[in-house]
Amino acid sequence: MIQIFDTTLRDGSQGEGVTLSSKDKVRVAEALDEFGVHYIEGGWPGSNPKDIEFFKLINDVRLKTAKIAAFGSTRRPENSADKDPNLNAIIETGSPVATIFGKSWDLHVKDALRISPEQNLDIIEDSCRYLKKRGKEVIYDAEHFFDGYKENPSYALQTIEAAQRGGADIIVLADTNGGTLTHELAPIFAEVKKRITRPLGIHAHNDSDCGVANSIEAVMCGAVHVQGSINGYGERCGNANLCSVIPILHLKLGMPCVPDDHIRHLTELSRYVSELANMAHVMNMPFVGESAFAHKGGIHVNAVMKNPKTYEHIEPETVGNMRRVLVSDLSGKSSILYKASEFGIDLSALEDRSKKTKEVLKRLKELEHMGYQFEGAESSFEILIKKLIGTFDDYFSLEGFRVITEKRGPKEHVLSEATIKVTVDGEKELTASEGVGPVNALDRALRKALTIFYPTLGEMRLVDYKVRVLDTKKATEALVRVLIQSTDGIDEWGTVGVSQNLMEASWLALVDSISYKLMKDERNKRRIKR
C-alpha cells in the first residue's frame, strides 16, 4: 500500500489566506484520520505557540489509523544533537514520528548554512541517529533534492546516504522549489535506488503545475510514500493536491492508499478542510470540485444522458461528488429535460412536451442574452420553468415599494428605510423596515410583511449578495446582475435578477428567493402528508 503523508496542517497552513486555529487543526486531523491517511504532519513545535498547543491537544485524541508527525530541521551547526532545541522540541511533543529536513543542495550548504559540505553530512547523520535513539520513527525530507542533484549529483546523493546511515526509516526526495518537470524524475530515481535501500518518498511543490504529475511519476519509479496536502494548500503555488493524488493512485492505477470504502468521502473531506481553513472551495478542482462533473454544452448533456462515460472519466459518486447539468444559452433540449427532472418536473409527461421544452429553451436563451445567468441561480430557473408550463402559484403580489436613503450630517451614518405593500389572497399588508443599506432594508421589509402570512420565512436569511456590472461602457446606466444566496438553516439556494436599476434587480432576486422557500415548504408538507 502507498503511504499517504498529509502536510495540510504544516506546509499547507503556510498557504496565503489559509487560517487554522489549534482546535481547527485537531478537527482536520480527526477528519484525515477517519479518511485513512497514514501520517499527519502537525506542525513545527519549535516555531510558534499554535503548533505547541496542537501537539498538546492531539495527545488527548485517540486516532484510528494515522500517526502524528512533528516537523523540524536537522540540528544547528553549533549544537550537538542532544543539546539542540529544535530536535528536543520534536521529542517533547510525544508524537511517534519525527520529520526532519536537511540540505541536499550544496548551494544552500555554502550560502545559507555557511558550513563545509562534510559538516552538513555529519549534521544530517547525527540528527537522524539521535531521534532514532529516542524511539522516533524518522522521516527524512531531503530539501531541494532535485535542484541539488542537477547542480551536483554526487553531493546530493551523499546527503541522503548520510540520512540512511543515521537510521532514517523513510527518505523523501523534495522538489522544494517546484521547478522539476515530470520527465526528469525517472533517471534521478534510478540513480537514487542504486545507493539507497530505505523506502523512498516524494514531496512535490506545484510551482510548475506538476505537483500531482510528479508525485504519480515518483510512485511509478518506486516511491512508496507520498506527501501532499488537501486541496493542494501550501506556500506559493501549493503542494501536490492529495485530492487528485489519492484517486489517481487508488482508482486509476490500482494502487491502494486508503481503505476502499473511504474514497467516496473524498469530496466531503475536501470541502470540510476548505471550510475550516476559511478558503473558498475551488470549483474546477479535478475529482472534488463543484465543476468536476458539470456539463453545459447541449451535445455533452445529450451524450451523458445516454451514457455518462462519454464525457466523464469516472463515476462522480466514486469520490463523493455529483453530476451537474448547467443551463445556459449553450443548452439544448437534453439539458432542459435533465435539469427539469432534477427539480422533479417531468416535461416529457406533458402532452405538448416538445412545444413546452422549446418555449423554455427559447426563453432561457432570451434571458441569458439580457444578462441573466442561471448557473449559480438554479432556483430562479426552476421557478422560470414552472411559470412557463403553468404550474407556478404566485404566493403574493407587489402593490409597490419605496426605498429612501439619507445622510443627515457629515458625522452621521447613512440610513435606509423601505416601505412595501403586498397582497396575499386578497389581503393587503403595508410594512416598513430599516436596514444598513437599501437592499437590506427592502429585504427586511418584504420578509416582515410576508411573515405574517408565512411564518416559516422567519427561518430564512441571506448569506451572500453579489452585484455584477454587465456593460461597463455604459457606466452607471449599465445593466447589473444580482445574485443572491439564501438559507433556512437546512438548505441553501441561489436566485438572480437583472435590470438597469440595482434595486429592481435586487427585488427580482429577492422575490425568487422567497418564492423558492415557500415552494420548498409546500413540497415538504406534501411529503409529510404522504
**Tens of each residue's pLDDT in the chain, 530 residues:** 999 999 999 999 999 999 899 999 999 999 999 999 999 999 999 778 889 999 999 999 999 999 999 999 999 999 999 999 999 999 999 999 999 999 999 999 998 889 999 999 999 999 999 999 999 999 999 999 999 999 999 999 999 999 999 999 999 999 999 999 999 999 999 999 999 999 999 999 999 999 999 999 999 999 999 999 999 999 999 999 999 999 999 999 999 999 999 999 999 999 899 988 988 889 899 999 988 988 776 677 677 777 888 888 999 999 999 887 665 544 555 566 666 666 666 666 665 656 777 777 777 777 767 777 776 678 888 888 888 777 788 889 889 999 999 887 787 788 899 999 999 999 999 999 998 888 889 989 998 999 999 999 988 888 888 888 877 677 767 788 898 899 988 888 989 899 988 899 999 999 999 999 998 888 776 544 54
Residues 409, 444 share a domain: yes
φ and ψ of 340, to 5 deg:
-60, -40
Cell of 530: 404522504
70 domain residue, yes or no = yes
Residues 142, 64 share a domain: yes
What is the identity of the amino acid at 177? N
Residues 127, 77 share a domain: yes
Alpha-carbon dihedral 368, 371, 376, 380, rounded to 10 degrees: -70
289 domain residue, yes or no = no
Say which CATH number the domain at 92 has. 3.20.20.70
Full residue range of the structural domain in which residue 469 is found = 460-530
Residues 262, 173 share a domain: yes
* Dist. CA 526–CA 473, nearest whole Å: 49
pLDDT at 203: 98
pTM above 0.85, yes or no: no
Q: Report the length, in residues, of the chain.
A: 530
Residues 464, 448 share a domain: no
Residues 309, 169 share a domain: no
* Dist. CA 42–CA 54, nearest whole Å: 7
* Dist. CA 94–CA 57, nearest whole Å: 11
Cβ within 8 Å of residue 340, ≥6 positions away: 346, 347, 360, 385
Residues 188, 53 share a domain: yes
pLDDT at 524: 72
pLDDT at 478: 78
Burial of 48 (0-12, 13-18, 19+ CB in 10 A): exposed
Q: Report which of 280, 278, 281, 235 is spatially closest to residue 24, judged by C-alpha positions.
A: 278
505 domain residue, yes or no = yes
> Which of 404, 431, 453 corresponds to the end of one domain?
453
Residues 266, 196 share a domain: yes
pLDDT at 329: 45
What is the identity of the amino acid at 299? I
* Dist. CA 327–CA 310, nearest whole Å: 19
- What are the residues facing 231 on neighbouring strands? none
The number of C-alpha atoms within 13 Å of 357 and in the hemisphere containing its C-beta is: 21
Ramachandran assignment for 320, one of left (phi > 0), alpha (psi -120 to 50 degrees), beta (any other):
left
Task: Provide the domain count of the chain.
Answer: 4
149 domain residue, yes or no = yes
Residues 208, 90 share a domain: yes
176 domain residue, yes or no = yes
Residues 129, 107 share a domain: yes
Cβ within 8 Å of residue 178, ≥6 positions away: 204, 205, 206, 207, 208, 210, 211, 236, 237
Q: Which string of b and e fits 207-219 if b means at least 16 CB within 10 Å?
A: bbebbbbbbbbbb
Chain centre distance of CA 467: 23
Q: What is the 3-state secondary structure (H, E, C) of 382-446?
A: HHHHHHHHCCCCCCCEEEEEEEEEECCCCCCCCEEEEEEEEEECCEEEEEEEEECCHHHHHHHHH
206 domain residue, yes or no = yes
Q: Which string of b and e fits 193-206 if b means at least 16 CB within 10 Å?
A: eeebeebbbbbbbb
Please state, in angstroms and as integers, the Cα–Cα distance from residue 240 to each residue in 34, 216, 261, following that order. Answer: 21, 10, 23
> Which of 453, 473, 493 corresponds to the end of one domain?
453
pLDDT at 353: 59
285 domain residue, yes or no = no
Cβ within 8 Å of residue 198, ≥6 positions away: 164, 168, 169, 170, 171
Q: What's the DSSP call for residue 338?
A: H
Residues 49, 163 share a domain: yes
372 domain residue, yes or no = no
* Dist. CA 140–CA 100, nearest whole Å: 5
Residues 465, 449 share a domain: no
Say which CATH number the domain at 471 has. 3.30.160.340
> Where are any strands of DSSP class E within 74-124?
97-103
CB 333 within 8 A of CB 298: yes
